[in-house]
């Protein structure tokens, strides 16, 4: 079993403010979800069942489901508060009937199930060790059919550009209204909680767990998103 992570500490207060907070700290958040829909659609048909890991408040389900009426989703999240926000987002829409909600870690999901594709948005950067990341990704891989697309997004280490992008990101955060104290607090917290790894290491983890080499499809400061396929 992988170690507990701060993704499991999204209590009611953090869940309530998540949608506003993530848009302030992750520039291009909504653009990312639009891209996600297109990337997944490029390798899937009109009918598909997707595994959404760390579903949170359901932003990626809403984005994909709106343009793909034949897709179904299994939303997995260990935080009951976050999953409750996901339910609320889908309530009263046709998506509610296309989503199954599972409040547990993906590692504990029934191993007999297989999916046509999977997403993991802003989850695995909370896992602090290489072993924990590999266990997490492997648990997704073994629940996918061969050739299934997998799109994931995380904070990462762009190596030579990291210092400049880190500084630019703080500057951007201040420009959208964060006080000096909030900038300091937010970025110090990320340094404590987030495991920034090189893109090369991400590829190594993917290939060690059954995926092909990944292709980056999005970057905003230190946020990146990649596409790969199950071998």
Nearest-CA neighbor of 144 among 122, 120, 123? 120
Judge residue 179's burial from the number of C-beta atoms within 10 Å of its C-beta, 0-12 exposed, 13-18 middle, 19 or more buried: exposed
Q: Which one, of 53, 93, 95, 91, lies nearest residue 71 by Cα?
A: 95
DSSP secondary structure of 97-161 = GGEEEE-S-GGGS-TT--BSEEEEES-GGG--SHHHHHHHHHHHHTTB-TT-EEEEEEE-B-GGG
Residue in this structure with the two tokens 């990320």, named with its chain if needed? 190
pLDDT band at residue 113 using 50, 70 and 90 as cut-offs? confident
pLDDT for position 14? 60
Residue-wise pLDDT for 63-102, tens only, equals 999 999 999 999 999 999 999 999 999 999 999 899 999 9
Per the CB < 8 A criterion, the answer to whether 142 and 210 are in contact is yes
* Chain-centroid distance, C-alpha 184: 25
Sheet holding 117-121, edge to edge: 99-102, 71-76, 48-53, 117-121, 149-155, 223-229, 215-220
Give the pLDDT confidence score for residue 15 in this predicted structure. 57
* H or E element, residue 219: strand 215-220
Q: Which domains does the chain have, with CATH numbers?
A: 6-158+194-229 (3.40.50.150)
- The pTM (predicted TM-score) of the whole model is 0.92
CA distance 105 to 88: 20
19-53 pLDDT, tens digit each = 888 999 999 999 999 999 999 999 999 999 999 99
Q: Which helix (H) or strand (E) holds 17?
A: helix 12-25
């Amino acid at each position: 079993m992988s170690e507990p992570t701060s993704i499991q500490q999204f209590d009611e207060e953090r869940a309530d403010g998540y949608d506003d907070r993530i848009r302030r700290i992750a520039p291009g958040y909504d653009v990312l979800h639009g891209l996600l829909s297109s990337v997944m659609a490029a390798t899937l048909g009109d009918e598909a069942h997707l595994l959404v890991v760390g579903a949170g408040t359901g932003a990626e389900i809403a984005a994909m489901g709106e343009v793909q009426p034949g897709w179904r989703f299994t939303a997995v999240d260990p935080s009951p508060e976050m999953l409750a926000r996901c339910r609320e987002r889908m309530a009263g829409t046709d998506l509610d009937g296309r989503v199954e909600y599972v409040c547990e870690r993906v590692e504990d999901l029934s191993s007999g199930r297989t999916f046509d594709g999977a997403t993991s948005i802003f989850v695995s950067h909370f896992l602090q060790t290489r072993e924990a990341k590999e266990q997490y990704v492997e648990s997704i891989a073994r629940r996918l059919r061969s050739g299934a697309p997998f799109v994931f997004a995380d904070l990462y280490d762009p190596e030579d550009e990291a210092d400049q992008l880190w500084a630019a990101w703080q500057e951007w955060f201040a420009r959208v209204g964060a006080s000096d104290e909030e900038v300091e607090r937010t970025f110090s917290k990320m340094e404590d909680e987030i495991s920034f790894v090189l893109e090369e290491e991400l590829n190594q983890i993917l290939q060690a767990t059954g995926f092909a080499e990944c292709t980056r499809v999005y970057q905003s400061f230190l946020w990146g998103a990649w596409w790969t396929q199950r071998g």
